[in-house]
Amino acid sequence: MITQLGNVTVVVSDLNRALKFFRDKVGLRLAFFDKKHDWVCFDAGRTAFSLTVPWNKKSKRLVGVRTGVSFYVDDVEKTYQDLKKKQVKFAFKPREEPWGARLTSFKDPDGNRFFLLQMPTGFPK
C-alpha cells in the first residue's frame, strides 16, 4: 500500500545554477548533492524534491517543461511577494481557483514551471 509520495525529480540543464536557484531564491533546504551522479536533493517537507541533468540525448527534452509540481505554501500572496523580490519569474499573479485553492506559477532558470499552492482551509495535507 502506498503511504505517501517520496520524491519528485526535475531535469535541468545546469545543476549548479538550479541548486542555487532552489536553495537561495526559493528557500528549499539542501539535503545532499551527489556530484558523482549529478543529483541534488532538497527537503521539501514530507516529500523530497530532486534535480538531475539529462542522462542521454532524448532526456534533454525534459528540460524547460510544465512539471506539474506544486509546492504547498501557507500564504501564497506573501510567498509570491517574497520570491518576486528575489527576481523569481511568475506566469501570473496569485489567483483563486473555483475549487477553493489559491495558486500562482513560477519558472526556474531553465523554464521548468512549478506551482505555489495554498490549499483551502481544512484540506488535509
Q: Where are the alpha helices (DSSP H) in 4-124?
A: 15-20, 76-85
Contact at 8 Å (CB) between 25 and 113?
no
Strands (E), the chain: 7-11, 29-34, 39-44, 47-52, 66-72, 89-96, 102-107, 113-118
Q: What is the pLDDT of residue 3?
A: 79
pLDDT at 125: 64
pLDDT at residue 104 in the model: 98
pTM: 0.92
What is the set of domains in the chain, with CATH numbers? 7-55+64-118 (3.10.180.10)
Residue 124 CA to residue 116 CA, distance in Å, equals 17
pLDDT by 10s per residue, the chain, length 125: 887 889 999 999 999 999 999 999 999 999 999 999 999 999 999 899 999 999 999 999 999 999 999 999 999 999 999 999 999 999 999 999 999 999 999 999 999 999 999 999 877 76
